Amino acid sequence: MRADIVPGAKFPNYELPDHTNKMRRLSELQADDPMILTLARGHYCPKEHQQHRELAAFYPQIAVAYTQIVTISTDVHHTLQEFRASVGAQWTFLSDPKRTIQKDLDIQEYTDPENNPMIPHTLVLKPGLVIHSIYNGYWFWGRPSIADLWRDLRVATSEV
């Protein structure tokens, strides 16, 4: 990951097409709320499915807590829609098949040349796209649990 992507820094305000093919900026999706941002390997990864199913089960609490979730994947539009539907997600998924974010953040996963995914990361962002925490999910145990996210969101929200 780029050296300037650290807690306290501002995350880049990327603009990508969403699962409905509408161009969306991260700042627009976040508004004035905290956000969980997942940078996903793609639909083919069982680790992504597991993490996203857990987030989908947690979503009712996230929604009433005025918190947003966004997933960015290298999947093309229709595959992105299938991934979103298959995990029961109700939040916005953004498509980055040109791997703009992978290249900009320097998170190419070199062990999978066939799919050329991003190294998966989950970030908790305070309003203004300010990074509160970063999890490297290359190994499944590097991904945050729901308890980790709850703790991070409690702290981030109290700072707001």
User: Are the C-beta atoms of 141 and 119 separated by less than 8 Å?
Assistant: no
> Is 90 exceeded by the pLDDT of residue 160?
no
**What are 92-96's contacts with CB under 8 Å, separation 24+?**
92/18, 92/19, 92/24, 92/29, 93/18, 93/19, 94/14, 94/16, 94/17, 94/18, 94/19, 94/24, 94/70, 95/16, 95/17, 95/18, 95/19, 96/14, 96/16, 96/72
- The rounded distance, in Å, linking the Cα atoms of 70 and 26 is 8
Res. 5 pLDDT band, cuts 50 70 90: very high
Q: What is the average per-residue pLDDT within 39-62?
A: 94
Res. 56 pLDDT band, cuts 50 70 90: very high
Query: How do 35-40 and 68-73 pair as beta strands?
Result: parallel
Q: What is the average per-residue pLDDT within 105-119?
A: 91
> Is 90 exceeded by the pLDDT of residue 119?
yes
Q: What global pTM score does this model have?
A: 0.95
Strand, coil or helix: what is 38?
A: strand
> Is 90 exceeded by the pLDDT of residue 110?
no
